[in-house]
Chains A and B, each alone.
Chain A
Amino acid sequence: MNGDDRSGRPSALGPLPDIGDFGIDTISLAGTLPAKLDAARRGGFSQIMLSARDLVSHPEGYEAAVDAVRSSGLRVTGFQVLRDFEGLSGHLHDYKVDVAKSMLTMCDAIGAKVLLACSSTSTHATSDADALARDLHKLAMLAVPFGVDVAYEALSWGRAVNEFTKAWDIVCRADAPNLGLGLDSYHLFAKETSLDELESIDPAKIFLVQLADFMWQEVRTAEERIATARHFRVFPGEGVHSVQLADAVKRLARMGYGGDYSFEVFNDDYQQMPPDIVVARARRAAIWLAEDVLRRALPLPNQMRLRRPGSG
């Protein structure tokens, strides 16, 4: 469960902080899936967030991609991304259920225990909160036989749900034990959602936290938010929201969040750099968060994770 081989490994500056709960996201890196997996491992990460595209675009095919993940020794943080699932009806809904089933089958193949589902951007989708909740409950039930948790994330340009506060409302309405929140710091900052709102969330229902920053203070329109999110993200500590990002991570730790952090950094520049260089930036971000922000002086022998209430 925890990062293992690095914790306790001495460095010139003394013991490294424990970064076992930080992972890199494959979409942050260029190259083939094996190259990304190798780079992540060499860079000292013990887990990786995978995107479906990485698996299906493997030059030797999907099965080879699954083998590469399974034999990498990396824990799979989660799997992304199911888009525009909730709020549809009729044949559109049926189509998305089929897509969701494919993604869950892929989760099962690679051993992913979290599926990330992003709030719908579809103009065909209803905004009725109960309908959205009903669909997400169905998605959660589809995931039960695979032992997969569904993390519902508010895209800052989502149509009905564009802030985590609204996503949390839907998650509460759906009320399924394996349905929770995915938080993405990018979307928090893009919508300037108050971090005080985090206090209203049950930390055991946060299934994944993705961290990224960006270089400008304001992204006012949905178009700006989309463009920035997809091309101009940077690692924590590299952008202009370092204070807020550190604040968010500290608040989550204080609340008792015991899950993973993944660096989801869509960046066109990083897409034309060798993955090792980008992973080194990710590692710098992880150490900044662990050492300077969370002040983990020494590696923890065992990372504690909250058991979900009501189970067992």
Chain B
Amino acid sequence: MQLPDRESIAPAGNPLGLDGIEFVEYATSKPQALGHVLEMMGFRAIARHRSREVLLYRQGDMNVVVNAHGERGANAERPSEATYISAIALRTRNAAAAYRYVLDRGAWAVATHAEVMELNIPGIHGAGASRIYFVDRYRDFSIYDVDFVRNPGVDRHPAALAGLHWFGIVQYVGTDRTADWTEFYTKLFAFTVLPDEQRYGILPKGRILRSPGGAFYLQLIEPVEGTYEVEPNETLQRVGLGTPDVLQTTKALRERGVEFIESRDVHSETRGALTQGYLGSVMFELVHDER
């Protein structure tokens, strides 16, 4: 018998019911230093995990998980001091269905290590050492209420600085691997490829994929030919933050201590801006986006 499948009521073009980014996770051995960077960017420390050295930062609708617990994913070659984006969690209509959908099409399941009474969040392997998680309880219930203890006295819902919101993720891919990752995200997640002339921000390289529903974007960038002797690892390189007024936002962030790259090729303008790298490779791109 064919059981009724939640897939069957999926809106056209969005089989997973993707609805944006629930959180971005960084792995780090320097949680305090990363926390300082996040606070400069307008995030506030909200809560800490019940059983692990994991912290939750938030501003507006954006959650950032800082994981100093030592789970370094599959890529053992990466030096443990490095701070990097270790996961993105996607809001889906039904996490279990989304998980099954992508596994059926060739995703690798990630083994989870939930402790007693903790949430078991399904996830798959993404680029390099990173993971992609699926979360479905984000409207009337917070996953953080289960696994995290709130820091006493803090505002649980601090407003976003200058209207900042998730715009997207930049993924560095291997030479000639743009087509492969495009296939991966279009067939497993129903992303669509933006035409080359449709560009955002100030770094118009690579290929941009739009999530079904348009909540966020992925930008795939190959290494510049001749730059590297050894092919660099594939990685989630940086997050893009949308803001209705880039120059106002850079001003507000500069006042908080954030420095932006101002060179001949890359500099702050109305379309976008790029912060300097912190802790080695943690950088944030601002993109003009009216949401």
Contact = CB atoms under 8 A, between A and B. Distances in A.
A308 B174 CA distance: 13
A139 B222 CA distance: 23
Given A141-B184, A141-B187, A145-B125, A177 B179 contact: yes
Contact of A141 (B107, B176, B177): B107
Contacts of A144: 106, 177, 180-181, 183-184
A101 B222 CA distance: 25
Nearest to A136: B106
Nearest to A141: B106
A138 B184 CA distance: 10
A142 B128 CA distance: 13
Contacts of B104: 138
Tell me which of A101, A141, A142, A176 has the highest count of chain B C-beta atoms within 10 A of its own C-beta: A141
Interface string B161-180: 00000000000001111111
B127 A307 contact: no
A311 B184 contact: no
Interface in B160-216: 174-184, 187-188
B113 interface: no
A145 B176 contact: no
A310 interface: yes
B108 interface: yes
A140 interface: yes
Contacts of A307: 176
Contacts, number: 61
Contacts of B176: 307-308, 311-312
A137 interface: yes
A147 B234 contact: yes
B139 interface: no
A28 interface: no
B177 A147 contact: yes
B240 interface: no
A178 interface: yes
A98 to B, nearest CB: 11
B15 interface: no
Contacts of B183: 140-141, 144, 176-178
Interface string A215-247: 000000000000000000000000000000000
Tell me which of A138, A142, A147 has the highest count of chain B C-beta atoms within 10 A of its own C-beta: A147
A255 B291 CA distance: 50
A279 B122 CA distance: 50
Contacts of A145: 108, 125-128, 234
Tell me which of A101, A141, A145 has the highest count of chain B C-beta atoms within 10 A of its own C-beta: A145
B264 interface: no
Contacts of B127: 145
A142 B180 contact: no
Chain A, interface size category, equals: 10 to 19
Contacts of A308: 176, 179
B108 to A, nearest CB: 7
Contacts of A139: 106
B106 A147 contact: no
A271 B108 CA distance: 38
B106 A142 contact: yes
Interface string A67-106: 0000000000000000000000000000000000100000
A209 to B, nearest CB: 19
A310 B105 contact: no
A307 B178 CA distance: 12
A147 B180 CA distance: 8
A144 B220 CA distance: 14
Contacts of A101: 108
Contact of B106 (A137, A310, A311): A137
A23 to B, nearest CB: 20
A140 B187 CA distance: 12
Contacts of A141: 105-107, 183-184, 187-188
Contacts of A140: 106, 180, 183
B191 to A, nearest CB: 14
A141 B180 CA distance: 8
A277 B222 CA distance: 43
B226 to A, nearest CB: 13
Nearest to B182: A177
Given A176-B183, A312-B178, A138 B108 contact: no
Interface in B21-61: none
B210 to A, nearest CB: 18
Given A141-B187, A147-B174, A147-B234, A178 B106 contact: no
Contacts of B175: 312
Contacts of B128: 145
B177 A138 contact: no
B106 A312 contact: no
Interface string B116-139: 000000000111100000000000
Interface of A: 101, 137-142, 144-145, 147, 176-178, 307-308, 310-312
Interface of B: 104-108, 125-128, 174-184, 187-188, 222, 234
26 contacts: A101-B108, A137-B105, A137-B187, A138-B105, A140-B106, A140-B183, A141-B187, A141-B188, A142-B108, A144-B177, A144-B180, A144-B181, A145-B126, A145-B128, A147-B177, A176-B183, A177-B179, A177-B182, A177-B183, A178-B179, A178-B180, A310-B178, A311-B176, A311-B177, A311-B178, A312-B175
Given A144-B177, A311-B178, 7 more contacts: A138-B104, A144-B183, A147-B180, A178-B179, A310-B178, A311-B177, A312-B222
